[in-house]
Each structure stands twice: as C-alpha cells, then as structure tokens.
C-alpha cells in the first residue's frame, strides 16, 4: 500500500489506516479478543501501518487489545491514541477533562496499556471548553520533549482552535468526521489544514457503515449499538438517505468496485494528506477497505459523483443533541 505524509509533520503512514474502536466499543458487544487480534495482525500483513485507538474505547480495553496485538511489530507501525475525558468507577464518561495533570496521567497509563515507550500521535479527543487550548498544546509539547509522545493531534476542533494550538505546538493531524455524507469540513477546516500543513484523518469515512450499502430502513441494531440514538440512523432518515447509497452503488458498479471502496477512494482523491481510518470487525470487510487504495477515480468520475450527490439532501443530524454540543465548531 502507498504511504502518505500527514501534512508536513514528517509522519508517514499507510494511505488507509484502521480505526479500532468498533472492536471493543460502540457498535454492540466487543469482538472476541482472539478474533480482534487476528484482524489487527492481518491488517499489518496487508501493509496497514496506522492504527487508531483511545482510552475512551472500552474504556481502556481497546488500548490493551491494540498493545498486545501490535507488540510483535511495534517498531513498524504508527499508533494514535487520545486523551480528554474523565471516567467514573463504572467506566462511564463523567465529562471532558484536558487539564494538564490529566493529560500527563493519561499518557503514562496509555504507554503501559499499549506496551510501548512512546505514543506516535496523541490527540485531544474533544476540545475542552474549560481548559485553554494553549495549555493543552503546551502540555503535549512537554511530553514530546520528554520523549513520551512524537506528534500532537486534535479531534473535531474548529479552525481558530487549530490555529491557537498550532502556534504553541505544531499539530500533525486533525481527526474529524468526513465522508460523502458529512462534508462540513470542506467549508473551513480543510483550507485551514492545507494552509498550516496539517494532515487530516477522517473517522467514520463510510458513514458509520451506511455508505457500504449494507444498512437499510429495515436494519435493526444491537441494543448496545450507539447508532440507535443517532438521528441520521432513525428509520425515517435511513429511508430518505437510501437515494445516496443507491447512486453510490451505481457509480461503484461502473468502476467494478464496491460502494465502500468508492467512498474511501473519493476521500483519498480529495487531498494527498488525507488518511481515512475505516473500522471493521470482519476480515472480508478489512480486505475490501484496503483494496480501496487501488481504486483510481478520474476527474470525470469525481465530477460524476459531485453532480449526482448535489441533488441529494442527507437527512438527520450526525449526533444526538447532548453529543452535538461537544463538536460544535
């Protein structure tokens, strides 16, 4: 697989990474540890070198899984993890927390769980309104100077926050949602990143599974699947948004590819410093996603996609109201 550099950071990663959250959290019961380990190691065998996790996924379980799975070839991969929350005794999130002492504590704990002596990319998971971003960037800068962290990242941050953080400690990458059905970053975020030389790591590049075509208005989700509370996944919204998936499927058929592969190839075609991190629990989906790196979309293909989607309005908010407050720019 081709490599890409995240902005001008010098951090080289595979063109498609692996988002590991769903193996432990968010989409129903956690995947069997042996199966999850096999999937992560298969990704490495297929030249994926960029693996994304966070203390919040589990919490803690996903970092532990990734640390164990990647231990045999730790020096050959890039591991990204995140800080930014506090947790109660039952493991539930008890609020955002990016105070300097919390960032340091999370770094030390993550190093142990990941079985490593350095975190390649350390993201602030969500912007904490109670802590100046300069304090956050300054703390990570100190961790970089101490050799515990290599690069600093932000997630779901607005343009001004990115600029303020970058002035204290260069930001290597921003991780935010971006896909054919969530294109808000194009308005202000992508131009800011290009100007500053910051890479972009889209999460949910397949629309939390919807862009694969495997989800319809009749699909039911596991009781632990967070899509049950996402407005965009209401039955009415799924029915309304089917037109987008149908059109994507038509384009994919013309390219002799799958809908998921075209959705990922579209992201790769937007900028050379964009690295999507699709997640999956299934080996055949992993192979499908990796092969998207070989799908070449011509200028005509991209124009066709653009014109086709211009007439389709995506229905439903991407988060319920209580979570949307955390990502308002």
Residue 88, CA atoms < 13 Å, CB-side half-sphere: 5
Residue 325: predicted pLDDT:
76
Read off the pLDDT of each residue in 29-48 and give the average, rounded to a whole number.
98
What is the tens place of the pLDDT at every residue in 14-29?
A: 999 999 999 999 999 9
Read off the pLDDT of each residue in 113-131 and give the average, rounded to a whole number.
98
Overall domain count for the chain: 1
In a domain, 258, yes or no: yes
Could you please report the per-residue DSSP string of 65-93?
HHHHHHGGGGGGSEEEEEE-EEE-TTS-E
What is the tens place of the pLDDT at every residue in 269-279?
A: 999 999 999 99
Interatomic CA distance for residues 7 and 16, integer angstroms: 15
Could you tell me the pLDDT band of residue 329, with boundaries at 50, 70 and 90?
Answer: low
Instruction: Classify strands 85-87 and 93-96 as parallel, antiparallel or unpaired.
Output: antiparallel
Q: How many residues does the chain have?
A: 329
In a domain, 329, yes or no: no
Contact 244, 180 (CB under 8 A): yes
Residue 92: predicted pLDDT:
87
Task: State yes or no: pLDDT of 77 exceeds 70.
Answer: yes
Interatomic CA distance for residues 267 and 114, integer angstroms: 29
Read off the pLDDT of each residue in 36-64 and give the average, rounded to a whole number.
98
In a domain, 84, yes or no: yes
Could you tell me the pLDDT band of residue 91, with boundaries at 50, 70 and 90?
Answer: confident
Output the pTM of the full model: 0.97
Higher pLDDT, 326 or 298: 298
Could you tell me the pLDDT band of residue 297, with boundaries at 50, 70 and 90?
Answer: very high
Q: What is the mean pLDDT of the chain?
A: 96
Residue 29's SS3 state is coil
Which of 25, 27, 57, 60 does the annotation list as catalytic?
57
Could you tell me the pLDDT band of residue 309, with boundaries at 50, 70 and 90?
Answer: confident
Report cis status (omega within 30 of 0) of the bond before 59.
Answer: yes
In a domain, 308, yes or no: yes
In a domain, 225, yes or no: yes
Contact 51, 70 (CB under 8 A): yes
In a domain, 147, yes or no: yes
Instruction: Classify strands 93-96 and 50-52 as parallel, antiparallel or unpaired.
Output: unpaired
What is the tens place of the pLDDT at every residue in 188-245?
A: 999 999 999 999 999 999 999 999 999 999 999 999 999 999 999 999 999 999 999 9
Q: State the DSSP H helix or E strand holding residue 237, giving kind and residue range, or none if neither.
A: helix 235-254
In a domain, 164, yes or no: yes
Task: State yes or no: pLDDT of 13 exceeds 90.
Answer: yes
Interatomic CA distance for residues 114 and 52, integer angstroms: 12
Could you tell me the pLDDT band of residue 308, with boundaries at 50, 70 and 90?
Answer: confident
Residue 165: predicted pLDDT:
98
Residue 60's SS3 state is coil
Interatomic CA distance for residues 144 and 249, integer angstroms: 45
Interatomic CA distance for residues 51 and 70, integer angstroms: 9
Residue 322: predicted pLDDT:
81
Give the closest residue to 52 by CA, choosing from 155, 133, 127, 142: 155
DSSP 129: T
**27 given a catalytic annotation:** no
- Domain interval for residue 286: 3-324
In a domain, 195, yes or no: yes
Give the CATH number, domain containing residue 19: 3.20.20.100
What is the tens place of the pLDDT at every residue in 142-198?
A: 999 999 999 999 999 999 999 999 999 999 999 999 999 999 999 999 999 999 999
């Amino acid at each position: 697989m081709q490599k890409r550099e995240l902005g001008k950071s010098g951090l080289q990663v595979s063109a498609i990474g692996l988002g590991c959250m769903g193996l432990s959290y968010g989409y129903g019961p956690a995947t069997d540890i042996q199966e999850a380990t096999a999937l992560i190691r298969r990704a490495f065998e297929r030249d994926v070198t960029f693996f994304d996790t966070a203390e919040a996924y589990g919490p803690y379980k996903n970092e532990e899984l990734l640390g164990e799975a990647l231990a045999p070839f730790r020096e050959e991969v890039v591991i990204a993890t995140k800080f930014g929350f506090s947790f109660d005794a039952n493991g539930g999130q008890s609020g955002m927390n990016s105070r300097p002492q919390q960032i340091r504590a999370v770094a030390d704990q993550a190093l142990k769980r990941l079985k490593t002596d350095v975190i390649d990319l350390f993201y602030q998971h969500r912007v904490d309104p109670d802590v100046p971003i300069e304090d956050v960037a300054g703390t990570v800068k100190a961790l970089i100077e101490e050799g515990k962290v290599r690069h600093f990242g932000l997630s779901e941050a607005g343009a001004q926050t990115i600029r303020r953080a970058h002035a204290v400690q260069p930001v290597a990458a921003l991780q935010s949602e971006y896909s054919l059905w969530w294109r808000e970053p194009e308005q202000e975020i992508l131009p800011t990143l290009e100007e500053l030389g910051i890479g972009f790591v889209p999460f949910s590049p397949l629309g939390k599974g919807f862009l694969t075509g495997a989800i319809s208005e009749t699909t039911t989700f596991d009781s632990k699947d967070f899509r049950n509370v996402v407005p965009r996944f209401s039955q009415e919204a799924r029915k309304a948004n089917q037109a987008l998936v149908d059109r994507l499927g038509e384009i994919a058929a013309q390219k002799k590819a799958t809908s998921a592969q075209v959705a990922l190839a579209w992201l790769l075609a937007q900028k050379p410093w964009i690295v999507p991190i699709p997640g999956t629990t299934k080996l055949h989906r992993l192979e499908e996603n990796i092969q998207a790196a070989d799908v070449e979309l011509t200028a005509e293909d991209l124009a066709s996609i653009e014109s086709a989607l211009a007439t389709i309005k995506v229905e439903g908010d991407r988060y319920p109201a209580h979570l949307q407050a955390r990502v308002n720019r």
